Chain A
Amino acid sequence: MTNAVIKTMEVCRYFGEGETLVKAVEQVSITIEPGEFTAIIGPSGSGKSTLLHLVGGLDNPTSGVVELSGTNIANMSGAQISDFRRDHIGFVFQAYNLIPVLSAEENIEYIMLLQGIAGPARRQRVQEMLELVGLNDLGSRRPNQLSGGQQQRVAVARAMASHPDIILADEPTANLDSKTGIALLDVMKDLNETHNMTFVFSTHDEKIMSRASRLIHMEDGAVVHDERR
Chain B
Amino acid sequence: MSNVLEFRGINQSFGGIKALSDVSFDLAKGSITGAIGPNGAGKTTIFNVITGAYRPDSGSVKLNGQELLGLAPYRIARAGISRTFQNIRLFPSMTVWDHMLLSQAPRTPMLGRLIPARKVTERAEEMMELFGITGVRDRIAVSLPYGVQRKVEMARAYAMEPQLLLLDEPVAGMNHDEADHLREVLLGLRGRGLSIFIIEHDMRFMMALCDEIHVMNYGRKIAGGKPSEIQSDPAVIAAYLGEDA
- Chains A and B are bound partners: no
Contacts from B to A (Cβ < 8 Å): none
